[in-house]
Amino acid sequence: MPRMLARAAVWAALLAIVALPAASAYAVPRLAPAFTARLLDGKTLSLADLKGTPVILLFWAPWCPTCNGEAPGWERAYQRWQGKGVEIVGFGLLDSKPAVEAFVQRYHLTFPNGYDDNGRIAQSYGFTVQPFWAVISKDGTLLRAEYGPSSEQALEATIETLAHR
C-alpha cells in the first residue's frame, strides 16, 4: 500500500508540473502587451483605444469543440454587459479568415472580433491552447492569461469582478 501511495504522489507531482504552465501563463500581473489589429468589420482596434476600460480578450479557433460550445455564452455575457464598463474582444486564429468569419456569423457574435492570422497577438499574451483568455484591468495590467473561460458563469464572474474593481 505505501508503494502505491508513493507512486500516486509522484504521478500527482508530475501532473501538477505539466498542468501548471497550461493553467496560467502569467502568475504575476504585468503590463498587458500592446496590439493593433484589424477587426472583421474593417475597423482597427488597439489596446490603447481601450485605455481606462477593463478588457477580456478571447482567443479561439473555429474548429475547437470547446470554443464552439462556449461561443453562445460569450455572446450572452457580452449582451448582458455591453455598455457597462467592461469590453470583450475576440480573436480567431489557427484557421483561415473565411473560417473565422463563418464562426462569428454562425454564433451571431456581436462583440468586436479580429483575425490573428499569424498568432502574433495571442503569442504575446502567452497563448497555449484555445480557448485562451487574457484579463486586463482598466490601468492596463494583465491580471490573468490562461486557458478558459471554462464556463459562461466563470466569464460572468470575471466580468463582475472587473466591473467593480
Q: Which pLDDT value is given to residue 31?
A: 95
Say whether 64 is catalytic: no
Q: Which pLDDT value is given to residue 62?
A: 97
How far is the C-alpha of 53 from the C-alpha of 35, rounded, in Å? 15
Q: Which pLDDT value is given to residue 19?
A: 34
Residue 140 lies in a domain: yes
Residue 33 lies in a domain: yes
Residue 7 lies in a domain: no
The CATH number of whichever domain residue 60 belongs to comes to: 3.40.30.10
Number of domains in the chain: 1
For residue 132, give every residue at least 6 positions away whose Cβ sits within 8 Å of its Cβ, in sequence order, or none: 58, 59, 60, 122, 125, 145, 146, 147, 148
In the block, residue with C-alpha cell 459562461: 152
Residue 5 lies in a domain: no
Q: 32, 67, 94, 159: which is the annotated catalytic residue?
A: 67
Q: What is the pTM of this model?
A: 0.81
Domain that includes residue 35, residue range: 26-163
Amino acid at 63: W
Residue 66 lies in a domain: yes
Average pLDDT by consecutive 10-residue portion of the chain (165 residues)? 41 32 56 96 96 95 95 94 93 97 98 96 94 94 86 86 81
Per residue in 28-42, pLDDT (tens digit) is 689 999 999 999 999
